[in-house]
Structures are given as C-alpha cells and as structure tokens.
Amino acid sequence: MNFTLTQRLRIAGVLIAFGLLIEAGTLLWNSPIGFLVFLGIGGLFIACGILIYLLTLISAPAEHSASSVLASKKSVVISS
C-alpha cells in the first residue's frame, strides 16, 4: 500500500496518541497488570507510531526528489 507523506504522519500520530491514552489509563491502575498493559500495549503503539514517523522522515526526501524529477520531466514534455 502506498501512503502519502501526510497519511503516514497521520497514522503515526494516531498510533502514538492511542498509546499515550492507554498510558494515561494505566497510571490510574495500581496493579502489575497495569504495568504490563502500559509496556506491552501502550508501549507497542507508541513504538510503532515513532517507527512509522522515523521511516517517513527517511523516505520523505527520496519521494520528494522523485516527484520533483517527474514534475520537471512533465514540464520538459509540455514545453517541447
């Protein structure tokens, strides 16, 4: 599946926000299970979100340059 840069940022943001909400819930839960949910579920969502964001950062320049090359080719074709 191809996502645009904006979509990837949105997915990352939603995952992180969801993970943070889980974290906020576990802070009210004084139990070992609360800690496991914090780390295992909340942490997983946040880690996935951060990973997607970092991958977006890495891939963004390449995508940007590719699209600009494509745009310049189109302009060449139009002008000719």
The smaller minimum CB distance to other proteins, of residues 60 and 69, is found at 60
Q: Is 41 in the site for other proteins (CB under 8 A)?
A: no
The smaller minimum CB distance to other proteins, of residues 67 and 73, is found at 67
The smaller minimum CB distance to other proteins, of residues 64 and 73, is found at 64
According to CB under 8 A, which one of 14, 66, 69, 71 is a site residue for other proteins?
14
Q: Is 23 in the site for other proteins (CB under 8 A)?
A: yes
Q: Is 48 in the site for other proteins (CB under 8 A)?
A: no
CA distance 24 to 6: 27
- DSSP-H helix ranges across 1-80: 5-26, 32-37, 43-79
Tokens of 18: 């969801």
Residues 6+ apart with CB under 8 A from 27: 38
